[in-house]
Structure 1
Amino acid sequence: MTGATAPPPALSLRAALAELRAGPPGAVVEHDEPADRTRVADHFARAYAGVPARGVSRPEPAVLYTAVPGGPVLLGLYGDEERLRRWLPGLPERAAPETAARLVAEAVRPNAAPVAVSRPPCQEHRTTGARVDLSGLPVPVLTPRDAGPYLTAALVRAEDPATGRTALSAHRMLVVGRDRLTVWMVPGRQVKALYEQAVREGRPLPVTVNIGVPPAAMVASALNTRFLPDGLDKLAVAGALAGRPLAVAPALTQPVSALAEAEIVLEGYLDGSVADEALPGAEPRGSLPEFLGFDGGARPGLPVLTVTAVTHRSDPVFQAVIGPGREQSAVLGAAGALSAALSLRPVLPRAEGVRVRRLHFAAAGGGMLLLAVAVRKESAAADGGLAVLARELLERHPFVKLVVFTDDDVDVGCAEDLLWALVTRSNLGADATAWPRLPPVPMDPSQTPDWAAVRHGAERPPGRVSVDATTPYALRSRTARSFRPEAGLAATGHCR
């Protein structure tokens, strides 16, 4: 692969950075002053980050801190939805049930599957065995309250040799030793299922941890496996997003593949060993800033990943995210909208008269809590069909707190247009529906029992909510916009 034509931005972090550098000034910012790895996240948050890290609504630039020992460190690469769409030719312009289904259809085609290569860039430099020492990596400490240095933008690749199943997902990983990481696996993730099965059978689960991955892999990793065809590899979905297959290569010390274009790869295994999410000798307390903008809590007894090799490209770029900010919201939101669209397909016949035109996760909810759904009502029956969709979305997507339905003349990707629909096409006292039987989102402070007790005088949070901000079918002509958008603009456009 060495010496081949440079891959497109979808298939390489370096190619994505090169594309940004070739564009308008300001898309890539470099800081060459000496910087400690404990300070870069705070500097990025204060100078560049947007909602929900700070009350700023603007794209984030890609920022390279070139003078961090062991660096450079990259933050903000995905801090602009338009940037992602430009890099990923297979990403639907609007997430809807039919466009998500077409993407999956492309992913199951043989030409989307990952291809194995020899001499991959990610293995230009190799360290194995007793020489492995993670302290040489510029792993940021995001705040003084963090448990320690965390990997925040790394993808875990697992391949179960017994079943052939694969997993690809991002996890927060705390460096707790020269060759050890704790891994927080959110319930429901495929890698957690593979890990638990391996532990039950008394065998290790081999994995690679890929840092600085192709943009197509990053977005595909955030898709919900349960809504994909059984056995479909997320790397095949990444190939559909990129319009070309991703390159993989066998790891050196484990029977699992690595992303060939990754900047840095950690090879290792999970064998059932556990440790608290804390540095040796410390009690588990805080973890790191979560995607909603608040500090998270450390977890006891997390799986431990033992690293057997570290490989990297020449002059590797260490990519990280700060947690809250537009960057993580853009990735989670793009993948989440596709997952939500796929989950709706089985229930659409029961939502009579409703055509789902676009789904969009707002950055204000970290790309997960606030889902806006633009619909077209095709008959009077549609007035009652939205409740069917609301129940499906809230039951099958446990991080969705609020679903807002709008008409399809509203650009649900524009926060101001979404607010306009809420203000003019709903009366929240009557048009908001609480779903109290659904479990709360525990990382949201307003859904905790303490909050419910103080605010509502109740033991249980009031539940998740859907809002109908659509015009009743019989009254559509009375609320037509004076200046109507161009055909299709509200369903496919972006806030400007």
Structure 2
Amino acid sequence: MMSMAIPVKQASFDLNMAIEYLTQNNGLVKVGSEVDIYQELAGVAKCFEGRQTVLFERVKGQDYPVFTGLYWNRELLAGLFGCDGRRLPFLLRDAVQAWQQSPIHPVVVDRGPANKVVEPVVDLTGLPVPVHALQDGGAYFTCSVVIAKDPDTGVRNASVNRIMVTGKNRLAMLMDVGRHLRHYYERAEKAGKPLEITISNGVDPTVYMAAVVPAASAPIDKDELGIASHLLGRPLELLRSQIVAVEGVANAQFVIEGEILPGVREPEGPFAEVTGYYAERAPRWVVNVKAVTRRKKPVFHTLMPGKEVFNSVGIMGEANIFDMVSRQVPGVQGVHLTTGGCGFYHAVVQIAKQREGMQRNAILATFAAFPSLKQVTVVDEDVNIYDPDEVEWAMATRFRADKDILVIPDAFGHELNPCTRDGLTAKAGFDATTPYPRPDGFTRVSVKPVNIKDYHIE
């Protein structure tokens, strides 16, 4: 039975199988009432944020259901990989390391679930793409995987970008500075050529996770889709496209084929970004859509702003930070990218101090390992880094503002954070550890451990 096995290791694992697993394990609610993709769907989904995933079975004026919430509950997501939430970042890390050492390359097939139907006419308005937040500038693809090929080497890149529908065959998208897709495009644009892409919606979580691996772990000359192969335990299947020379994901729900046009910019935004604020409307890159294929009975997948974005970012970043910091600082026990820090801006590092000053080294190493960070808080091994109350307790009882704060002015920041000015921001590290060796006054109150199963309780 699938609920007893590891879902991602099952033959032909896909989003539909993930939904089935979540249904069997009380991880999904089904909304039978008709909902509107214009803001109402997001409003209903928000009521379940951080808990169960949501399947909207009846979407007003649309032919296909919509699924969301896959990435906002770490324990539910981890169940698909056969582990718990704390182990999940390291399971993903192990797959990245295995791929780096001995890659399992994807295979290309001519036919698959995602091209069972080839739409005779391109019309993106026929897809149930939601408008999420109240001030969003339009309908957005938020968790679709963009695949492109290096115009010089042909190496694939996979990424997740925000993409706004602007017409029946037209999209506007953001490409962040420093991302591999941006490098590909700028070289193509310089040569006066479009950059062909596919946009795969409704991929399984192994593909999504491969697409959000930090660039430090997936260099530009490597095809990170092989990471999904390692997570699956078999080569990922990619689908030969109808028109463009770039593949889509064979087990996706929809595949959109197109090209990012050279020298063309059109308005995109506002959009509810990872910061919890709206990204401004501005001229951005334009996709001309050439073909759309789909499953016979597809489910559109969308990612909600808020905890789902924060969590999906944090999962991939934590193990990477842990490894990089551990190489430089002994005694690191764990790393957590907090939800309150948007999964991008605040890391809590747990350390077993072996001498005074190591906590400051850990702060500096953590900033270097994840440049988007604005804050790093270091705590002792007796503090639960996943519990914000515990972290606040450590700050309230172990942190001294006159001695235990490290400020780094004019550091490189994340461009989407509104605190960043001309690419620069200030960063702060907080030492919430006890002195070393620990004085008696910092002995935590504790009680006798018991096994509650040994007691008769009504």
Query: TM-score, normalization: structure 2?
Result: 0.87
Q: Deviations over 1:62-91 (max 9, x none)?
A: 332433313311121222101222222589
Out of 110, 113, 118, the position equivalent to 1:121 is 113
Asked if the contact 1:11/1:216 (under 8 Å) is kept, the reply is no
Q: Distance in 2 between matches of 1:484 and 1:222?
A: 42
> Match for residue 436 of structure 2?
473
**Structure 2 SS opposite 1:276:** strand
Measured in 2, the distance between the counterparts of 1:125 and 1:437 equals 52
Change (3 A) 1:230 1:477: farther
1:53 alignment partner in structure 2: none
| 1:448-467 superposed Cα distances (whole Å, 9 cap, x missing partner) | 67xxxxxxxxx999721111
Match of 2:319 in 1: 338
Aligned residues of 2:414 and 2:423 also touching (Cα < 8 A): no
The 10-residue stretch of structure 1 (211-220 or 420-429) with the greater mean CA deviation from structure 2: 420-429
Residue 367 of structure 1 aligns with which residue?
Answer: 343
User: 1:319 maps to what in 2?
Assistant: 301
Among candidates 458, 463, 482, match of residue 426 of structure 2: 463
Question: Superposition pairs for residues 166-181 of structure 1, below 5 Å?
Answer: 166-181=156-171
Distance 1:485 1:79 in 2: 35
Judge conservation of contact 1:207–1:268 (CA < 8 Å) in 2: yes
- Counterpart-to-counterpart distance in 1, 2:448 and 2:405: 27
Q: Residues 478 and 102 from structure 1, CA distance in 2 versus in 1: closer, same or farther, beyond 3 angstroms?
A: farther
Gaps of 5+ in 1: 1-5, 50-57, 279-285, 450-458, 487-496
Q: Distance in 2 between matches of 1:234 and 1:272?
A: 25
**Structure 1 residue corresponding to 2:244, chosen from 254, 262, 268:** 254
Task: Give the letter aligned to residue 81 of structure 2.
Answer: L
Task: Evaluate the alpha carbon distance shift between residue 90 and residue 261 of structure 1 in structure 2; reply closer, same or farther with a 3 A threshold.
Answer: farther
Which amino acid in structure 2 is aligned with residue 405 of structure 1? Answer: V
Question: 2:81 aligned with 1:79, yes or no?
Answer: no
Q: Deviations over 1:1-55 (max 9, x none)?
A: xxxxx9657941111100011113xx21222222221033442354223xxxxxx
Correspondences of 1:256-295 after superposition (within 5 Å): 256-278=246-268, 286-295=269-278
CA contact (8 A) 1:112 1:236 kept: yes
Assess, with a 3 A threshold, how the Cα gap between structure 1 residues 410 and 144 changes in structure 2: closer, same or farther. Answer: closer
The answer as to whether partners of 2:93 and 2:320 remain within 8 angstroms in 1 is no
Match of 2:293, SS state, is strand
Matches within 5 A, 1:85-484: 85-89=78-82, 93-94=86-87, 102-108=94-100, 110=102, 112-127=104-119, 131-160=121-150, 162-228=152-218, 231-278=221-268, 286-300=269-283, 302-324=284-306, 326-344=307-325, 348-349=327-328, 351=329, 354-377=330-353, 379-380=354-355, 383-395=356-368, 397-441=370-414, 443-445=416-418, 447=419, 463-475=426-438, 479-483=442-446
1:302-348 CA distance string (max 9 Å, x none) = 11111111011111111112222x22222111012133235436xx3
Asked if the contact 2:8/2:81 (under 8 Å) is kept, the reply is: no
Distance 1:358 1:268 in 2: 42
Deviation string for 1:355-385 (max 9, x for gaps)? 22211111112211111111222x32xx323
Range with greater deviation from structure 2 (79-88 or 141-150): 141-150
Equivalent AA in structure 2 for residue 23 of structure 1: N
C-alpha separation between the residues in 1 aligned to 2:141 and 2:126? 13
Tell whether the 8 Å contact from 1:100 to 1:342 is kept in structure 2 after alignment.
no
Once the 2 structures are TM-superposed, how far is the Cα of residue 118 of structure 1 from its aligned partner? 4.0
Structure 1, 246-255 or 385-394: larger mean CA deviation: 385-394
The C-alpha deviation readout for 1:271-325, integer Å capped at 9, x for no partner, is 31422224xxxxxxx512122322221222x11111111011111111112222x
Counterpart residue identity of residue 281, structure 2: A
Change (3 A) 1:484 1:289: farther
- Cross-structure match for 1:490: none
Does the CA-based 8 Å contact 2:270-2:281 persist in structure 1?
yes
* TM-score normalised per structure 1: 0.81
Offset at 1:435?
A: 1.0
Structure 2: runs of 5+ lacking an equivalent: 1-6, 450-458
Report the Cα offset of residue 202 of structure 1: 3.0
Give the whole-Å Cα distance in 2 for the aligned partners of 1:288 and 1:230: 28
CA distance in 1, matches of 2:91, 2:71: 22
Which one of the candidate residues 5, 15, 18 is aligned to 1:16? 18
* CA deviation after TM superposition for structure 1 residue 120, in Å: 0.9
One-letter amino acid of the counterpart of residue 215, structure 2? T
The letter of the residue matching 1:197 is R
Q: RMSD over aligned Cα, in angstroms?
A: 3.0
Distance 1:484 1:216 in 2: 42
Distance 2:271 2:82 in 1: 33
Q: Cα distance 1:89–1:198, how it changes in 2: closer, same or farther (>3 A)?
A: farther
| Separation of aligned partners in 1, 2:423 and 2:118 | 53
Measure the CA separation in 1 of the matches of 2:13 and 2:318.
22
| Aligned amino acid, residue 313 of structure 1 | R
In structure 1, the residue corresponding to 2:200 is in which secondary structure?
Answer: strand
1:67 to 43, 52, 59: 59
> Secondary structure in 2 aligned to 1:413?
coil
The alignment partner of 2:152 has SS state of coil
